[in-house]
Amino acid sequence: MNLLLEVLWLLVTTIYFCLEAFVKLFAPVKRKSVRGETVLVTGAGHGIGRLTAYEFAKRQSKLVLWDINKHGIEETAEECRKLGAEAYAFVVDCSKREKIYSAAEKTTKEFLPAMMSINHGHIVTVASACGLSTLPFLVSYCSSKFAAVGFHKTLTQELAALGKDGIKTSCLCPVIVNTGFVKNPSQRLLPLLEPEHVANTLMEGILTNQKMIIVPPILNVLLMLERLLPERAIAGVSRLFEVKFDVAVGCKDKGKQVGTLSIVISYTKSNS
């Protein structure tokens, strides 16, 4: 097939896929069952990880729970058992590769290779809206979340290229969640997200095999505007939303802090 025919065929299929997606907006979505499925939840000792574990427990999944906090992970496991689920807690520091391998030997032994051998499973990457857009004074955090989103997208493409369509992937990208990660957060036009709402939305996305789970959905519009509008117009939109939180700015010399300033910042300006 020559290039011209390929382009024409691409146009035809693109129109068809767009119409198909439009129809699906109004069609009831079939939810899959996770009853009896083995589910590994990292960071399950607190926050969204813990609440997500509870959602799986309510659906009678078999839970393998990891967290660096022994007390927190045991509390989560106990609550999951009260909900009628089989739950196993492991203290794992996910920043250390050898700890992950050691824990894997006690639990599922293999993750992705085992999924690929049976062409079944679901991999969820927890990222952030900061992996799609940025905030000042969060360079390291935003960079790590962009990496998480990139991991999700690359893995999704790789599984598709290998024909492993039975393995689903999802990536969670919420705006600021009220978990205490940042101090005194506020947003003018968007409410702060509660962890329970994020966990429920994540569960719905998993059950319906959503690729990108962006919370709240209006963020999709803002991301599109960010790609279409001039830079100064984007700055104006940022000021309109006025995302704020406290941040400490300082420098160190030979281990001693020589200056620090507590400020409140938004996308485009800072106020003392």
Which pair of structure tokens corresponds to residue 47?
């926050």
42 phi/psi in degrees, rounded to 5: -90, 150
Q: Which amino acid, one-letter code, is at 211?
A: K
| Residue of 16, 54, 88, 141 with catalytic role | 141
Cα gap 141→131, rounded to integer Å:
9
Q: Measured between alpha carbons, how far is residue 213 from residues 11, 86, 265 in Å?
A: 28, 27, 27
Catalytic, 16? Answer no
Q: What is the 3-state secondary structure (H, E, C) of 42-86?
A: ECCCCHHHHHHHHHHHHCCCEEEEEECCHHHHHHHHHHHHHCCCE
- The partner residues of 121 in beta bridges, in order of sequence, read 167
Kindly list the catalytic residues. Answer: 141
